[in-house]
Amino acid sequence: MNTFFPMTQVLNAALNAQHSHLPVRELNQVTWGRNPQADVLEGEKEFRILMELPGVQPGDLDISLENQTLNVKANRETEVPEGFEVVRHERAAKAEFHRTFNLGNGVEAEGIEAAFDNGVLTLTLPKSQQGLPRKIEVK
């Protein structure tokens, strides 16, 4: 009994062909827009936002603050390595990530910091002095 199957047949049988009506070359041009999931953490003096952005490089990030709205944008482009051709494309060749956060007045905008490590963006947002608890002295 011969149990050898060509790899393309195995992959095609195993993978869901949700875009089977599109030729491989057209699939390569598909762009996906995504809202990445985020964890928002609150500490005593700051908030932290953690966001996974797979395949994104630090130079592909665009983070801005406008009218108390924090905007995070990123683009990812996947290239086929030299010497290979696409047999089946499940991931989009291009992906655009976008997420906004309304900060209100509880964040010190000038102190916002961003760090990117192993595909995870960490935004640190210090709480404004007005929002921090304080002891009021009785006179």
pLDDT of residue 81: 87
Give the architecture (CATH level 2) of 34-131: Sandwich (2.60)
pLDDT of residue 6: 52
Residue 20's contacts (CB-CB under 8 Å, 6 or more residues apart) are none
Do 11 and 88 contact (CB within 8 A), yes or no? yes
> Could you state, in order of their start, the residue ranges of all structural domains in the chain?
34-131
pLDDT tens digits, 85-113:
888 777 767 788 899 998 888 888 899 99
pTM, entire model? 0.67
pLDDT of residue 33: 59
Q: Got the DSSP string for the chain?
A: ------HHHHHHHHS--TTTTS-HHHHTT-EEEE---EEEEE-SSEEEEEEE-TT--GGGEEEEEETTEEEEEEEEE--PPTT---S---S-SEEEEEEEEE-TTSB-GGG-EEEEETTEEEEEEEBPGGGS-------
Which portions of the chain are predicted below pLDDT 50?
A: 1-5, 8, 10-31
Residue 42 CA, chain-centre distance (Å), reads 20
